[in-house]
Amino acid sequence: MTCHVVRGDPGGDGFGHVANGVERGPDMRVLSNADVAALLPMDQAIETVAQVMQRVSRGEAQMPLRHVVPVGGPNMMGVMSGALDQPPCFGVKLVSLFPGNPAKGLSGHRGAVVLFEPETGGAVAMMDAGLLTAIRTAAASGVATRALARPDARRLTIIGTGEQAEHHLAALGAVRPLEAVHIVGRRAETAAAFADCARRAFPDLRVTAGTDARAGVAGADIVCTVTNAPTPVLCGDWLEPGQHLNIVGASVASKREVDDAVVLRSSVWVDSRASALAQAGELVDMIAAGTLMPEQIGAEIGAVLEGQAEGRRDAAQITLYRSLGVIAQDLACAQHILTRAEAEGRGTEVAF
């Protein structure tokens, strides 16, 4: 992947401009939700995330921990900034996390990703963060599943019925030849409605739905938790040998989707070790209680992809990918979107 570099145009053509004898940088390209959807299909997102996670594990990314600000009730504003090394690019994601939005027909994540060019520091692109976040998060689970799940995994259970459930179904279907998916929701009508949508989108899949998470996990090869739950929705004594788990929904240390037994029964891989030790609620709690040692947490997924760390050992091992999401994923996907947008003439150029 080549990061975007734009040079000023002293002749006044294209992006570069001269005003009052002073050359200013490139215009900003503004990209909508529709642009993101068109320019970041799931198969391309999976490959983009796989590449950047290897760069993360090679130490080629600067990723300060996300900064979260409460903004009333369960709502939060998150700020994530970072940079990728060679070739250089950097940017920031400003995103509101509003758990009640899906009930209003809106994404639970709303905001913008801004990219900057590395020669003068000018902002060159701004794009919708909600859909980008949903796609890159599901793509990361797809990357981990491809690396860690049994090759013969065919049955998927998704706990959660929101935006992430939709994108995870697409991502997991891109890396394993799924035959059946079971949807678990808090409300039967919501789970059934999602199942209906899944049947229309994936007519070859056998789709079922219910509200009993324990029953839903039985017989699954892959389990994804993609909820806003602050307390566990998945328990360790429900797990079966050989399963692969993507634990995705809880992104702050005050929330956790799994109990201690899930962690203790599983081999754990993470996207970023620094992020996991600071913000993965179940890991933070268990380390503080002395029931888990930091060294028991396995490698970053990028190291597995690089061949520098072990992945699944055998068919009976329970593998767990703890996803928090890192800014490197946002930057890489945003850069991919911008490169395609420039080539295809999408988006709106704004003088900046």
All residue ranges of the chain with pLDDT < 50 are 1-22
Q: CATH for 149-326, among 3.40.30.10, 3.40.50.720, 3.90.79.10, 3.30.70.1140?
A: 3.40.50.720
Please state the pTM of the whole predicted model. Answer: 0.90
The secondary structure of 5-64 as a DSSP string is: -----TTS-TT-EEETTEEE-PPEEEE-HHHHHHH--HHHHHHHHHHHHHHHHTT-EE-P
pLDDT confidence of residue 26:
67
Sheet holding 180-184, edge to edge: 206-210, 180-184, 155-159, 222-225, 244-247, 319-322, 267-270
pLDDT confidence of residue 262:
98
pLDDT in tens, 200-214: 999 999 999 999 999
Q: Residues of CATH 3.30.1780.10 domain(s) within the chain?
A: 17-133+328-350
- Residue 83's SS3 state is strand
Distance (Å) of CA 69 to CA 65, 73, 110? 13, 11, 15
Give the rounded distance of the alpha carbon of 302 from its chain centre. 14
pLDDT in tens, 256-300: 999 999 999 999 999 999 999 999 999 999 999 999 999 999 999
- Residue 197's SS3 state is helix
pLDDT confidence of residue 24:
56
CATH architecture of the domain 17-133+328-350 equals 2-Layer Sandwich (3.30)
Q: Residues of CATH 3.40.50.720 domain(s) within the chain?
A: 149-326
Q: Which two tokens stand for residue 29?
A: 């390209």
